[in-house]
Structure 1
């Protein structure tokens, strides 16, 4: 049974573990980052025509008062998982996007040119969404509700979580986690646990952050979602 390292933060890590178990893999949970809520100026909610969300974490960490102030506006979510989080948070009218931030921006741009939207987002995010909306004359008011920070784990704790046994594959979802994992792999005390591992990256940007790892050990998902990422496990590692 393949031992698969899951580096994403909770609650996604446990959800991924269940999917791996259902597919016959042995998940090893080692979140390398966590998401934390950011303090907000809750009086600074602008008059807007719509809300956009490209990460479920953006609504999970948004204050209830902020969501309540925006809940009646049309909400454009990047994909299914984010749309579910928006509905659970209280948004009344949620449109499920194509799963890609750039494509969502193009759709919003055609509909809302000349208007302003509220964008619930993280401190670290891809610029393409806002850049495309700006090019389409949509004014974006970004409200950063969360940040992603690296966890500081000692070598002994990491080795214990891995049961001091090598892993066959590592799932890497973000550039921050990729950088953290690269640092772990270089640790003399841990190197042997990753000697034969394949590193499966959610996107080319994530793969680029796997600094110092042999490129022949890196695989990139065909599209930036977990279905495509887990599909890599069915290929020769």
Structure 2
């Protein structure tokens, strides 16, 4: 059974691993980041009031995870949302929230869906993010509520496992994730052990941060569904 390296933060890593198992692969979870709530900004978001004017925007389920963990699930359930991804949408609907738009596949389609709206937009964001949404909607208010904090590479146990039985594939979701994975491999002196691992990247931007020696495969669209299709297709090939 082919092994698949997952370096996402929790709980996204476990959710991805469940899908990897369902496809017949063996997930190997070694997060290189952790999601850390920015407490002051989270509470400032709740202080906006029970029903914020306009639409709340989120491009990651991590934002919803952070709000729920901070006790703002009831608050989130009173808002109207526009989100990327079914997981974020399902979480919010479970809290009683209203979706102003169907869940978007990616940021580009979210922007397209919001272009016809003249309502105020509030972006519940990560601290490290591309400015794509803010460029598209200059008047949008952005409130960072979490950051993906680097954990400092692979643990001793991770190094042992990766050396003894290297994974055949790695799922890589962001340019920063690619850089952290490359650095972790170098710091652990695992280049030789993992040189045959194929890097399955969410987009060209992500692939551009992979090391020169990496064998890269691109998802046809920047979604996890497409990335997992790339996994099954690459494995068949």
Instruction: Give TM-score, length-normalised by structure 1.
Output: 0.85
| Counterpart check, 1:83 vs 2:83 | no
- Other-structure match for 1:192: 192
Q: Say which SS state the counterpart of residue 39 (structure 2) adopts.
A: coil
Q: Relative to structure 1, is the Cα distance of residues 196 and 53 closer, same or farther in structure 2, using a 3 angstrom cutoff?
A: same
- Following TM superposition, by how much is the alpha carbon of 1:163 offset from its aligned partner in structure 2, in angstroms? 6.3
Deviates more, 1:35-44 or 1:48-57: 35-44
What residue ranges of structure 1 are gaps of 5+ in the alignment?
Answer: none
Q: Which residue of 2 aligns with 1:226?
A: 224
CA distance in structure 2 between the partners assigned to 1:94 and 1:74 by the alignment: 6
Q: 1:140 to 1:2 in 2, by over 3 A?
A: same
Q: Which residues of 2 match residues 172-187 of structure 1 at below 5 A?
A: 172-187=172-187
Q: Distance in 1 between matches of 2:77 and 2:154?
A: 42
Shift of 1:120: 0.8
Q: Using a 3 Å threshold, how does the CA distance of structure 1 residues 154 and 64 change in structure 2: closer, same or farther?
A: closer
- The answer to whether the 8 A contact 2:153-2:187 is kept is no
State whether residues 76 and 95 of structure 2, in contact with CA within 8 Å, keep that contact through their aligned partners in structure 1: no
Q: Which residue of 1 aligns with 2:104?
A: 98
Q: 1:235 to 1:49 in 2, by over 3 A?
A: same
Structure 1 residue 172, shift from structure 2 partner: 0.9
- In the alignment, structure 1 residue 131 sits paired with structure 2 residue 138: no
Deviating 4+ runs (over 6 angstroms):
none
Unpaired stretches in structure 2, ≥5 consecutive residues: none
CA distance in 1 between counterparts of 2:78 and 2:16 reads 32
The residue that corresponds to 1:36 in the other structure is 36
**Which residue is equivalent to 2:209?**
209
* Corresponding residue pairs, total: 228
Matched, 1:120 2:124: yes
Q: CA deviation at 1:203?
A: 1.4
SS at match of 2:137: helix
- 1:157-168 mapped onto 2 (5 Å cutoff): 157-162=157-162, 164-168=164-168
CA contact (8 A) 2:202 2:221 kept: yes
Return 44-53 or 224-233, whichever deviates more.
44-53
TM-score, with length taken from structure 2? 0.85
CA-atom RMSD in angstroms: 2.3
**Equivalent of residue 51 in structure 1, options 51, 56, 59:** 56
Given that 2:167 and 2:197 are in contact with CA atoms closer than 8 Å, whether structure 1 keeps it comes out as yes
